[in-house]
Structure 1
Amino acid sequence: MSLRQFEYALAVAEAGSVTAAAESLHVAQPSVSQQIRSLERDLGVVLFARTPTGLVPTAVGRAFLRDAEVAVRAARRARATARAGAEELDGELVVAAQMGLGTRQLPGALSALRRRFPRLEVTVFEEANPAELERLARRGVVDLGLMAGPCKEDLYTGHHLGDEEFVVVAGPEHAHLLAEERVGLRALEREPWIRFDHDSALDGVLREVLRDNGLAPATVARVSQTATAVRWAAHGLGVTLVPTSAVLPGFEHLTRPVSPAVTLPTVAAVRPDAGPAETALLEFLRQETWPHTGFSASGPGRLLTTG
C-alpha cells in the first residue's frame, strides 16, 4: 500500500467515479483503476460498490477511508514541515471555529499567516455541531480550533486567548431595552426568541442560560447561522443571544450585554506537536485584540472534548 493509493481511493470516494477522480487528480483513468484494484487486492476487501449513481464506499471501505484521510493529511503536514526550514511551507492548514468565535480576529491573523507563508492553503469552516467537531478532531482533520471553554490535553493543548461575552440582539422597537446599559434576562421572558439548531453549541449555551435563569420563552424560529439570527432580530422577528464577535457591522447599536452576564473563554486548541503553520497562526492570533471580561464559565464551555 502507498499514500498515492490512499489519495486515489479518497478521490474516487469524493467524486463517485473513477473517471471524475482521474480528472481531479490529472492522471489517466486506467492508472486510477489499476491502483484501486491493487489496493483492494492487498487489503483483501472490496472498498467500493458499483451503483446506478456511481461508485459508493462499502462499509469496510468507509472505515478504511477514515484512516486513509488521517494518513494523507499527516503526510502533507510532514512534507510541509520539512519544507518550512527553507521558507517554502505549503500544503493545507485546516482551522475550525466553533460558534463563530474569532470572527473579528481570525481575518487579521490569517492575513499575517499568508504573508509569512504565501504558498500555504488554509481551509476555515464554522462547525456548529460540537459532536461533529469532536469527530473531526479525533480523526486528525483539524489543525487548529477556536473553541469555547477548556479542552482535555491529550490530542490538543488549549491556549486561552480571551473571553467572549454574549449580547442580546433586539429590533429598534425595543428602545426601552436598548436604553439600558445591560438588559436583564428576565426582561426578555415574554419576548419571542430566535434560537439555533437543536444540536448546535450555540443552542446548548442558550438552553443553559434559560434554564439557569428559570426562563421558558417562546421560540419563533431556529436558524443555523449567527448572521441570520442577528439580521432577523434586527428586523423585529424576535430577540436572540450571540457572541459579541458574531455581531455584524452596522448592527452594534441593536445589541446590549445581559445581566447576569453570559461569557465563555475563547481557547485555541493546537496539537502538542504543532508544526510551523499552526505555531505561527497561534502567535498571530495572540497578537489580535481579545476581550478579557474577568468572568469565568463552566458547563457550556466544555464543547470540544478531545480526551
Structure 2
Amino acid sequence: MSLRQFEYALAVAEEGSVTAAAELLRVAQPSVSQQILGLERELGVKLFARTPTGLVPTPVGRAFLREAEVAVSASRRARATARAGADELVGELVIAVQMGFGTRQLPGALGVLRRRFPRLEVTVFEEPSAAEMDRLCRRGVLDLALMAACERSPAAAHHIGDEEFVVVLGDGHRLLDADRVELRELEGEPWVRFDRDNALDLVLLNVLRDNELTPATVARVSQTATAVRWAADGLGVTLVPASAVPHGHEHLVRPVFPVVSQPVIAVVPPGAGPAETALLELLRQETWYDSASPVPR
C-alpha cells in the first residue's frame, strides 16, 4: 500500500465517483481506477459500493478511510517539517474552528503567517458540533483546532484566551440605551437560535436555563453571521461570540450580565511542526475579548 493509493481512495470517497476524483487529483481516470482496484486486491476487501447516487464506502471501507486520512495528514505534516527552513515553509496546514470562535483573530494571524511563508497552503473550515470537533482532534486529521474544550493532554491543549458572548438587538430595540444588558431583561424576547447540534445553541440553552428564562424560538440558523443579521433586522435577539459579529453591526451589540464566556483552546498534535507552532504563537498575540476587556462597539 502507498500514500498515493490512500489519497486516491479519499478522493473517491469525497467526490463519489472515479471520474470526479480524477479531475480533483488532475490525473487520468484509469490511473485512479487501477490504484483503487490494486488497493482492494491487496487488502482483500471491497472499499466502495456502487449506488444510484455514486460510489459510497462500504462499512470496512469507512474504517479503512479513517485510518488513511490520519496517515495522509501525518505525511503532509512530515513533508512540511522536512522542508522547513529559515526562509521557507511549504506544505499544507489543516485547521478546524468551532463555529463562532476566532472569527476576527484567526484571519489576522493567518495573514501574518502566509506573508511570512507564502508557499504554505492553508485550509480552514468551521465545525458547528463540539462533539465532532473533539472527534476530529482524536483522529489526528487536524494540524490545529480552536475550540471551547477538549479532552487532550495539557501539552496538546493551549488556553489562548476567552471569548465573551454578546447579545445582538434589533435596530431601535429598547435595550440599546444600556451599556450592558441584564439577562433577566430578555424575558419574553423572541430568539434567533442555532441548529440543535450546534455548540452555540447549547451555550444559549444553558444561559436561558441558568437565568430562568423561557426561550421563544422564532428561527434556527446555521451560521453566526446569519443569526446576527436576522437579529439586526428585528426578527428576534441572539447570543453570539463577540468576535463573530460582522462589521457594520457593532452598534447593535451589548455585553450581558451575568457575563457569558467560554475559553478558547488551541489544540495541536504531538510533535507539532513549525507552521503549527508559528500559528499558535500568532494566535496568542491576538486580542481575545473577555469580561475584563471592552467589547468592540
Listed as ranges, the matches of 1:149-160 within 5 Å are 150-154=149-153, 157-160=156-159
Equivalence for 1:47: 47
Task: Spell out, residue by residue over 1:85-140, the C-alpha distance to the aligned partner (whole angstroms, 9 max, x if none).
Answer: 36442222111121311111111100111012111111111111112212222221
* Paired positions, count: 293
Task: Spell out, residue by residue over 1:20-58, the C-alpha distance to the aligned partner (whole angstroms, 9 max, x if none).
Answer: 323332333333222222211111111122334432221
Listed as ranges, the matches of 1:287-302 within 5 Å are 287-293=285-291
Counterpart CA distance in 2 for 1:293 and 1:13 is: 45
The amino acid that maps onto 2:196 is H
Shift of 1:18: 2.5
Shift of 1:156: 6.7
Structure 2: gaps of 5 or more residues: none
Helix, strand or coil: the match of 1:172?
A: coil
Distance change >3 Å, CA 94–CA 166, structure 1 → 2 = same
The amino acid that maps onto 2:157 is G
State the identity %. Answer: 75
Counterpart CA distance in 2 for 1:240 and 1:17 is: 41
2:232 is aligned with 1:234:
yes
Listed as ranges, the matches of 1:26-41 within 5 Å are 26-41=26-41
Equivalent pair of 1:168/1:241 in contact (CA under 8 Å): yes
The amino acid that maps onto 1:208 is N
Shift of 1:186: 1.1
Counterpart CA distance in 2 for 1:155 and 1:6 is: 32
Task: Spell out, residue by residue over 1:233-261, the C-alpha distance to the aligned partner (whole angstroms, 9 max, x if none).
Answer: 11111111111111111211111111111
Out of 224, 244, 247, the residue aligned to residue 246 of structure 1 is: 244
Helix, strand or coil: the match of 1:122?
A: strand
Listed as ranges, the matches of 1:15-94 within 5 Å are 15-85=15-85, 87-94=87-94
Counterpart CA distance in 2 for 1:172 and 1:52 is: 49
Equivalence for 1:181: 179
Task: Spell out, residue by residue over 1:179-207, the C-alpha distance to the aligned partner (whole angstroms, 9 max, x if none).
Answer: 11211111111111111111111011111
Out of 184, 196, 199, the residue aligned to residue 197 of structure 2 is: 199
Counterpart CA distance in 2 for 1:5 and 1:155 is: 35
Task: Give the root-mean-square deviation of aligned CA atoms.
Answer: 1.9
Structure 1: gaps of 5 or more residues: 296-307
So what's the TM-score if we normalise by structure 1?
0.89
Helix, strand or coil: the match of 1:95?
A: strand
Distance change >3 Å, CA 250–CA 22, structure 1 → 2 = closer
Equivalence for 2:213: 215
Equivalent pair of 2:242/2:289 in contact (CA under 8 Å): no
2:103 is aligned with 1:110:
no
Shift of 1:291: 3.0
Distance change >3 Å, CA 238–CA 52, structure 1 → 2 = closer
So what's the TM-score if we normalise by structure 2?
0.92
Task: Spell out, residue by residue over 1:48-71, the C-alpha distance to the aligned partner (whole angstroms, 9 max, x if none).
Answer: 223344322211111111111111
